[in-house]
Structure 1
Amino acid sequence: MTVLTITPVDVLMLRGNRLFGGAVHGGAHMPPWPSVVTGAVISRALADQNRLGHVTMAPDQADRLVREALGEDFCLRSLWILSRGTLWFPAPADLVVLGEGKDALTVRRMVPRKLASGLATSCPLEMLPVLDVKERRKPAESVWLSMEGWQSHLQGALPQASQVTTADQLWAVDPRLGIALDAGSRTVKTGAIYTTDAVAVKADTRLIAAFCGTNIPTEGLLRLGGDGRAAEIRQADPSIREQVEGFGRPKAGWKGFRMILATPGLFPSGWLPPGADQQAGYMLQVDGLKARLVAAAIPRHQVISGWDLAEQVPKPAQKVIPAGACYWFTVDEGDSAALQRLHEEGLWPLMEKQHPVYRRKREGWNHVWFGPWT
C-alpha cells in the first residue's frame, strides 16, 4: 500500500453534483469524492509515463493504459484528513454527537433493538438502531472523529468528546464570484454572474490517501479538483502508514460484527450492500462465512456524476451511500476471519463484473472497515 500526503497549494474547487451557472450558486463537496483524488493521481501517473496523449487520442484504450501504468489492483483504499498531528475521518453513522460548540459536545451510540410487537416500519430488517437519551438535543453537524476515537469505537468503547472535531476546525469555505462564458463567441454572457464555493484548508491540514497499485507518483505536484488547482504530494510518514494500513481489519471468532464504509458505497441494490441484499435473504456469504444483516444506520444518500474526460461525455448520475454508514451482522456459520478478503478488496468480490457499477471499481468506492458487535 502507498500512503500519500496531499497538501493543497491553493484553494480547491471541489464541486458538488449540482449544475451551476448564471445566477446559480455552486457548492463544494469536502472531503472530495474518491474518484476526484484517484483521477488526479491517474492523470499524474499517465503524464509521467508519457501516456496521457494516448488516452486522449484513443479513449477506448484508456482502461488498458491505466492498468499497464498503475497495475491491475490500483484503487483508493481510504481518505483521511491530517490536522494538528491527528488523523480525522467523518464520524460513523452509529454515533451521534449532541450539542453545539466544541466544548459542549456529547457522544452517544446508537444500539440495534428488535422491533416492538405490533410496530410496523418500512425497514425490512429485523432490528432498528435506537438512540437512548434522556432528553432531546440538537445533533452537531459535519462531525469528524480522530483516529484514536475510531479505534475506540471499532473496539466497542464510546469515544470521548475530546476526540471529536467539526469541519470548521479543518477547513473554511471561500465564496468566489464568476461569470459564465459564451462557448461560441468565447466572451462573457451578459448578466450570467454566478458564485461558487472554494475550500480553503487550514494551514496545518492536508489529505492522507491510501492506494493499492504500482508506480504511484510519490512526489511533486498534481491537478486536484475543478480548475486544475495545484496540490503537492509526498509519501506519508511511516507512522501514519502504520496507522492507516491495518485499520479496521477483522479478527477471528466474532459472533457479530459491524461493517462500516471507509469510502462511499456505490451499490447495485440502493442502500443494501452487495451480497446481502433482499435477493440473497440479507445473508452475506464469503469464503465459508454466512452472516445475516440485522440492522443498518445510513445517512441520507448523495448523488455523484462527473465528466468522462476519455469519452468526452457526462457520467451517469448515481446514488451513493456516504462513508461512515454502518451495517450490523450476526454470524450464522463460519468464521469472521473470512472478512479479511473484503477488508483488502472492498465489496467488489460480491458484485457481478458485468454490472455497470463495476466499471468504477478503480475509483475507490465500496471499501469497508470491521469491528466486533455483541
Structure 2
Amino acid sequence: MNYFVLNPLDPLIIRSSRPFEAISDAEAAKFPPPSTIAGALRNLHGRTIGIDFNDSNKKEQIEALLDVPVTGPLAVKIPVDQSADKLEQKHILVPKPADAQYFVVDGKSTLIGLQPEKLNDDEGCDLPNDLRPLFLSQDINGKPVSGPKWWSLTDLLDWRTGKSVDFGMIKNNGWTPTKPDIRTHVERDNKTRNSVDGQIFQTTGLTMWQQPDQPQNFPNERVAILAGIKGVVSLQAMNLGGERRLAEVEACSLCPKRPDNLVQEVIKAGGLILTFLTPTIFANGWRPAWLDEGTPPGCEYLKLKLRAAAVDRWQPQSGWDLASNKPRASERMIPAGATYWFEIVEGTATEQEIEKLWMAHLCDDKQHNLNGFGLTLPMAYSWNESNIK
C-alpha cells in the first residue's frame, strides 16, 4: 500500500443529501467520505498508468480501477513549519470514538468513557441478542458538552489501553476545525452585468486548519488527508470535492503502526474492542452481517460474539459512479468512531488471525472494503466478569 498526504489548497466542499436551502451551516462542513477519496486516488492512478477517461474504448480499464484497494481517509495534523516527510504517529488524527463522552464537572471539561455493564438479577433491557447496555464508567454530576471530534491516534491507543487521557490532552493533540467557509453564489447576466433572479445558492466548505487558542491568533497547524492506494501515483496535484478545488499530492511513509504487544494482549484478554476509523456500511444497518457466521472478513478461523456496541446516528452516503458515468444509489453509513465490543469464542484466536484485523476493512460488501469503508482499530478487552460491574 502506497500512502499519500492530500493537502487541500482551499476549503473542501463535500456534498450532503440535504437540499441547498439547508446546507449553509456548520454541520454541512464534512470530512470527505472514503468513496470520495477512493475515486480521487483511482483517478490519479488511472492517469498515471495512461488511461484516457474520455475514451469509450477504455471502459474495461476504467471498471478495473474499482478493484484497486484504497485505505483511509484519516486526517493528519501538520505544523506550519514542518514538512510531510517528517510526520510521526502522533500527527495522525482519527475520529472521536463513540464511547467517549465530554462533560462539564465543577466548571471543568472532563472526558468520561462508556463501558458495557452487567445487569443485576432484577434488571433488564430491550437490547437485541442479549447485548449489554453501556453506562458511564464513573458517576458524575455534570452536563454533556461538545468537544474535539478528532483525536490523535496516540491518544486513542492510550485510551484503549487504560492510560490516563484527559480533555486537555485531547484538545491540544486533536483537531477542532475553524468556522466553516460559507460562500454565497449568484448567476450574472453577461450582457447587463446584473444578477439573474432566483439564481442564488450557498456552499459550505471545511476549512483544514486547527482552531487557534485565541481568536486573534492565526492557526499554526494545518490539517491534511492521509490515504493509501495499492497502485502507483506520480501526479502532484488533484481536484478534490465540489467545484474542482485543488489539493497537493505528496507521497509519504506515514501510516498507523500496530503496537508491538497487541496480538498477545488480545489473545490473553479473550476479547477485543473494534473502533471504526472510517464510516462503515453493513447490510443489516448497525449490525454486521458477518456476525451470522462470527468470522470477520479476511479471517478463516476466528469467531467473534458481539457483546455491546456504541453507534451514533446514521449518515446518508451517495456519490458519482465514474465507470458508469451516473450517480450512485444512496446508502446509510455508520459514522466513523462506532465502537463494538466482542468476545472471542474460545480456541479460535491465533496470532495470524488477530494480525489480520489491524487496519482491516470489515464491511460486509467487498466493494465497500475496497473503497476504504470500515477501517478498523482493534484493541484488547477482557470479558472477565470480575472486571465488569
Q: Decide: shared fold, TM above 0.5.
A: yes
Matched, 1:246 2:258: yes
Shift of 1:54: 5.3
Which deviations, in whole Å up to 9, do the C-alpha atoms of 1:183-221 show, x marking residues without a partner? Answer: xxxx9862132222112222632324231412134x510
Q: Structure 1 residue aligned with 2:158, among 137, 147, 152?
A: 152
Q: 1:288 to 1:53 in 2, by over 3 A?
A: closer
Structure 1 gaps of 5+ residues are 352-356
Classify the secondary structure of the residue corresponding to 1:201. coil
Q: Distance in 2 between matches of 1:248 and 1:17?
A: 42
**Contact residue 284 and residue 293 of structure 1 kept, 8 A:** no
- Which letter maps to 2:180? V
Which deviations, in whole Å up to 9, do the C-alpha atoms of 1:161-201 show, x marking residues without a partner? Answer: 2321398733430111124799xxxx986213222211222
Q: Which residue of 2 aligns with 1:62?
A: 62
Q: Which residue of 2 aligns with 1:196?
A: 203
Q: Distance in 2 between matches of 1:93 and 1:336?
A: 28
- Which letter maps to 1:156? G
**Contact residue 362 and residue 369 of structure 2 kept, 8 A:** no
**Contact residue 92 and residue 325 of structure 1 kept, 8 A:** yes
- Which letter maps to 1:148? T
Q: What TM-score do you get using the length of structure 2 for normalisation?
A: 0.78
Q: Distance in 2 between matches of 1:367 and 1:339?
A: 15
Q: Distance in 2 between matches of 1:146 and 1:32?
A: 18
Q: 1:212 to 1:8 in 2, by over 3 A?
A: closer
**Contact residue 303 and residue 318 of structure 1 kept, 8 A:** yes
- Superposed, which structure 2 residues align to 1:253-268 within 5 Å? 253=267, 254-268=269-283
Matched, 1:213 2:230: yes
Which deviations, in whole Å up to 9, do the C-alpha atoms of 1:227-277 show, x marking residues without a partner? Answer: 1100001123x4x33xx243699513231110110211111111012311x
Q: 1:197 to 1:214 in 2, by over 3 A?
A: same
Q: Which residue of 2 aligns with 1:373?
A: 381
Give the paired residue count.
Answer: 345
More strand by share: 1
Matched, 1:82 2:56: no
Matched, 1:128 2:123: no
Q: Distance in 2 between matches of 1:307 and 1:73?
A: 17
- Superposed, which structure 2 residues align to 1:310-325 within 5 Å? 310-325=323-338
Shift of 1:57: 5.5
**Contact residue 301 and residue 321 of structure 1 kept, 8 A:** yes
Q: Distance in 2 between matches of 1:51 and 1:59?
A: 10
CA RMSD of aligned residues (A): 3.1
Q: Structure 2 residue aligned with 1:233, among 233, 249, 261?
A: 249
Q: Structure 2 residue aligned with 1:137, among 143, 160, 168?
A: 143
Identity of aligned residues (%): 22
- Which letter maps to 1:232? E
**Contact residue 174 and residue 197 of structure 1 kept, 8 A:** yes
Superposed structure 1 runs of 4+ greater than 4 Å apart: 54-61, 247-250
Q: 1:193 to 1:108 in 2, by over 3 A?
A: same
Q: What TM-score do you get using the length of structure 1 for normalisation?
A: 0.81
Shift of 1:34: 1.0
Shift of 1:372: 0.9
Q: 1:118 to 1:170 in 2, by over 3 A?
A: closer
Q: Which residue of 1 aligns with 2:99?
A: 94
Shift of 1:296: 0.3
Shift of 1:224: 0.5
Q: 1:134 to 1:99 in 2, by over 3 A?
A: closer
Structure 2 gaps of 5+ residues are 80-86, 210-218, 383-389
